Chains A and B, each alone.
Chain A
Amino acid sequence: MSRSDNKLAFDGGWDYSPAPESTDHIDIAARYQLFIGGEFVKPESGKYFDSINPATEEKLARVADANEADVDKAVKAAREGYRVWSRMKPAERGKYIFRIARIMQERAREFAVIESLDGGKPIRESRDIDVPLAAAHFFYYAGWADKLEYAFPGRKARPLGVAGQIIPWNFPLLMAAWKLAPALACGNTVVLKPAETTPLTAMKLAEVIADAGLPPGVVNIVTGAGKTGAALVEHPGIDKVAFTGSTAVGRMIQKKLAGTNKKYTLELGGKAANIVFADAAIDQAVEGIVNGIFFNQGHVCCAGSRLLVQESVAEQVIDRLKDRMQTLRVGDPLDKNTDIGAINSKMQLEKIQSYLKIGKQEGGEMFQSNGRVPKKGYWCRPTIFSGVSQSSRVVQEEIFGPVLAIQTFRTFDEAVAKANNTPYGLSGGVWTDKGAKIFKMTQAMRAGVIWANTFNKFDPASPFGGYKESGVGREGGLHGLDAYVKLGAV
C-alpha cells in the first residue's frame, strides 16, 4: 500500500469553539494626531487617512497624515529634546526607559488586542511574542544606558543626535521597540514613522511615553505613508536614519543619503533557506518549517521561505508537512486558537496572489490547506510549492506571505550553493542531528542570523541583521548600540 492511500482526516468531528479575546477593555480613538514635543497635535497638512482592520475591512480610526511641515516640526522638537536628553545622567535616562517597559507590560493585553486588530496577526502571537518581546527590548536597553563605558571599553560613546526611524507593518510595536530602545539608551532623540497600515500601537506607545514622563521632544511620532518617510530621510536636521522595510525602498534611501553625513542602518528583505538534512529529527523539522514560513502569515523578513530538503527524506518531510498544514487554523486574528491571521493589507494580498499565479505558471506544484476562510477580509491559506528550482521566481523573490518554495538537494555542497545563490542574506536554518554539520553549515552560509534545529527565535541580547541586499548594520544586543553612538577618546 502506498503512503498516498493512507491519509489522515482533520476536518469534521470534534472542533474548537470560537474563543475570541474580548475587546471591551481597549479604547481606540476616532482620530489620532501627531505626537510632537510631548503633545498630540493636529497635522499642518490637515489631512487624515484610515487605518483598516484587515480581517473585516472595517475602518478602525482616522490617523494624521504628516507632510513636510509636520516632519520639520517633529525634527525641531527632537532637537530641542536632545539638549535635555543627551545631557541627562545616563542612569536617569535608564529609569525612563525602564518605566516605558513596565507600563507596556501593565498594558500588555491592550497592546496585543490592538496589534491584532490593526495588523491582522493572531492574538496568540501578539500576546505571546510581539508585546513581551517589545517590553523585553526596552528592559534590555534600559540596562545599557549607564553602562556604555563597558560596552565600548577604553572609548567614550557619545550620542549621534536626532534619529529618523521608519518601521514596517509586520511587527509594528516590536519594530518600534527595536528602534527606540537603543537610540534612547545612547542619548539620542527620535522621530519615528510607523507604517501607514499599522499606526495604532505606535500611537498607544506615544501615550505610554507621555505617561512615563519623558521630557518633551525625546520621542516624536509622525504618521503617514511613503512621502512622510521620504521627508524624514531628506530632512537636513537628522543625524541618523534607521529603516526596516523592503530592499527597493532601502536602496532609494541609500541613494538619498549618499554624500550626506547621516549614519544609517537598514534592515531589508530576505529569502532564507531552511535546510533539512536526512539525519534531522523529522517531526521537529516539520514544526520548524511551519514556524519558519507561517509565523505572522509569512510577513517576516527573516522567514524561512525556501525549504531545501535532502532528497532521500523529501517525500517523507513533504507528506508530514501537508498533514501538519491541515491543522493550521486560518481566521479571526482575535480568536485564541487562530494560527494564521489576516494578510496585512489588500495590496499585500494582491502581491501574494500574483506570486501564486507565477508559481503555477512556472510549473510549480501548489498545495494549500483545506478549510474555510472568512468571506470578508484579506486571507491566504498556507501554501507550498514543490517542483520549483533556483530559476523560479517564487524561489528567487521575496513574497512576504505564507508561501513556501520547496527544493531538494543531494549533497552538503549543493545545499550551500543553493542557500547562498540569492541576493539576500538575512537568515537561515539548519536541521540535523549532527553538531559538527551545524557548525560547518553555519560557517558556509552567508546570512546574518542562522538558527540550528529551531527557527524564528528572537532575543533582545542577540544581534540581528543581514548580508548582501538584506541590509546594513545590526540591531539588538551589544551590536545594536553601535549604530547609535559615535566613539571617541575618553
Chain B
Amino acid sequence: MIPDLSKVAVVDEVGVNERVARFQTRSIKTASKIDALKLTLSMIDLTTLEGQDTPGKVQQLCQKAIHLHDSMPGLPHVAAVCVYPTMVGVAKKALAGTNINVASVATAFPSGMSAREVKLDDTRMAVEAGADEIDMVISRGAFLAGDYAFVADEIAAVKEACGDAHLKVILETGELGTLDRVRRASVLAMHAGADFIKTSTGKIQPAATMQVTLVMLQAIRDFYYETGRMIGMKPAGGISSSKLAIHYLVMLHETLGNAWMTPEWFRFGASSLANDVLMQLMKQSTGVYQSADYFSKD
C-alpha cells in the first residue's frame, strides 16, 4: 500500500518560486474577477479552532456562513464550517436545512501527538456527531523519522473510521521543512486514502504558501495521471486577502484545469478571507470601498 517514494519527482525550490511569481503576474479584471471572487466565497471553509470556542461563538459563525451579506443578492454560501469535534453537534444543528457541510478537525489536532486509538475515537465521535468532513493531521514525527508505513497505516485507519465522511489529510507543511518532503507526504496521503490533501493546521507558521500548494497540486495531477482519481486540495492558514485567493485560483486553473475549479475539489481554510472578498465584490458593483464596519464580524 505504501507507494515507492523514491520514484516521486524531486522539487527545485528556485523553479517553484519562479512559477509562483508567474501566476502572480496574471491580471484578473472585470467579469473574470467577479467570477473568481464568488467562486472563492463558495470554496471557503469558515473556520474557528480555538480553545475558547463556545456554542455561542460557533452558532454565530454558522449564521455568518448562511448569511454572508444578505444585502448583496446572488452570493453563494461557503462550502463548510470547520470546528473542533466537541462543537460539531452545535454546528450541525445551526446549519440544518442548508447545503453547508460541517467539517471537524480530529486525530488530536493540531499536534497529532496521541495514541492511534485516541485518534480513531476522536474521529468516530466527530462523525457520529454529524461531521460531513474530517480534517486529520499526519504524524509529522513519524514521517520525519522515515516511518512512512506508520503514517500510511494511520491515514488508512482514520479513513475507515470516517465511514461516509470525506477525509482531508493535513500535512502541516510548515513542519516538513522542504518541498521534496511536501511532495512525498502528498503522495503518501493520496495512496493511503485521502479525499483531500491540506497544507496546514493554521497553528504553525508558515501555514499555506503558494509554493507548497503548487507542489501539492502537481502531486495531485500526477496521481490523477496514474490512477484517474481526482483528489481535492485545501490550502489553509494565512490566506486573508482576495488578491491572494485569486492568485491561488489562477494557479489551480493552470495546474489542474477546470474540473478542479469547484468547492468539491478545492477549499480555502480561512476565517477572515470571506469579509475581504465581500468588500471586493461590493467595490466591483459600487466602484468604491466600504468601511469594514459594513460587514459582519463573526
Contacts and interface: CB of A to CB of B under 8 A. Distances in A.
Interface in B253-271: 253-254, 256-259, 261
Nearest to B18: A287
Contact of A281 (B10, B32, B39): B10
A16 B28 contact: yes
A79 B215 CA distance: 59
Given A3-B226, A14-B36, A433 B18 contact: no
A82 B14 CA distance: 46
A3 B27 CA distance: 33
Interface string B13-28: 0111011000001111
Interface string A16-37: 1101000000000000000000
B12 A9 contact: no
Given A14-B39, A281-B15, A287-B18, A9 B30 contact: no
A283 B20 CA distance: 13
A124 B15 CA distance: 19
Contacts of B16: 284
A21 to B, nearest CB: 9
Interface of B, helix, strand, loop or mixed by DSSP: helix
B164 interface: no
Interface residues of A, number: 34
Contact of A336 (B14, B18, B27): B27
Interface stretch (B58-66, B133-141, B217-225): B217-225
Contact of B32 (A15, A287, A433): A15
Contacts, number: 93
A12 B261 CA distance: 11
Contacts of A10: 253-254, 257-258
Contacts of A336: 25-27
Contact of A288 (B15, B27, B221): B15
A383 interface: no
B180 to A, nearest CB: 9
Interface in B182-210: none
A285 B11 CA distance: 10
A220 interface: no
B12 A8 contact: no
Interface of B: 9-12, 14-16, 18-19, 25-33, 35-36, 39, 218, 221, 224-228, 249, 253-254, 256-259, 261
5 contacts: A3-B226, A13-B258, A14-B32, A19-B29, A283-B11
Given A9-B258, A14-B261, A454-B15, 8 more contacts: A1-B227, A9-B259, A12-B258, A14-B36, A281-B11, A281-B12, A283-B11, A287-B15
Q: Lowest 3 A-B CB distances belong to which pairs?
A: A284-B15, A13-B258, A281-B12
